[in-house]
Amino acid sequence: NAGVTQTPKFRILKIGQSMTLQCTQDMNHNYMYWYRQDPGMGLKLIYYSVGAGITDKGEVPNGYNVSRSTTEDFPLRLELAAPSQTSVYFCASTNSRGILTDTQYFGPGTRLTVL
Amino acid sequence: TQLLEQSPQFLSIQEGENLTVYCNSSSVFSSLQWYRQEPGEGPVLLVTVVTGGEVKKLKRLTFQFGDARKDSSLHITAAQPGDTGLYLCAGVTQGGSEKLVFGKGTKLTVNP
């Protein structure tokens, strides 16, 4: 199993540009999450999904959109990039019983810079 | 908003020393997790503590969950350079969909 994979690893965007961060997991996990990690800060939850077709906002959803058409994929969309979105983005997944009882697996991250 | 305060933020010690990292909140969590993160990688789960007062040991690492399930500590005995990394605590929220609330992390450097 590859686990959780994210692409791209690095990206530089200009203000106002759009992009999609890709996340795929091959563990058949129902729960998937997107976090951002700013320097010196912990991870903050952007969006999460408890299954295909179901998504919900986390702590910092503004400026982002998600979709979950399959169990495996959970892309994160930035429509109008802003410098405040410069961060490292992590995707994670866990099994259907949730965080309390199952390990949450993180991808390697996407480092995004908006200039 | 539930917050987790971690201390210290930075810790630099010599190989063989002991250390403790603290994670405190005014909120109650269903459980609390500790992660270790290497540069350029995602966090990796070390342990989940669920019951108030619970103590778990993982080789030289000892994790404790406070009786009121609001705080936790990580103690490392005889630290080694391989322990160097960012240690994150994360509380699992109660009720509804389970979500993680992360502390800011403790950056540990163990010098040989």
pLDDT in tens, A11-36: 999 999 999 999 999 999 999 999 99
Chain B (33-52) residues lying within 8 Å, Cβ to Cβ, of chain A = 33, 40-45, 48, 50
Among residues A3, A17, A6, which one has the least CA distance to residue A89?
A6
What confidence tens digit (pLDDT) does each residue in A74-99 have? 999 998 999 999 999 999 998 866 65
Q: Tell me the two tokens of residue A78.
A: 């930035």
- Under an 8 A CB cutoff, do B99 and A48 touch? yes
Q: How close B10 comes to chain A (CA, Å)? A: 10
- What average pLDDT does this structure show over B78-83? 96
Distance CA A3, CA A24 (A): 8
Among residues B88, B108, B89, B105, which one has the least CA distance to residue B15?
B108
Distance CA B18, CA A60 (A): 37
- Under an 8 A CB cutoff, do A45 and B99 touch? yes
Place of tokens 């058949």: A28
User: SS3 of A8, please?
Assistant: coil
Q: Which residues of A touch B30 (CB under 8 A)?
A: 100
A5 pLDDT higher than 80: yes
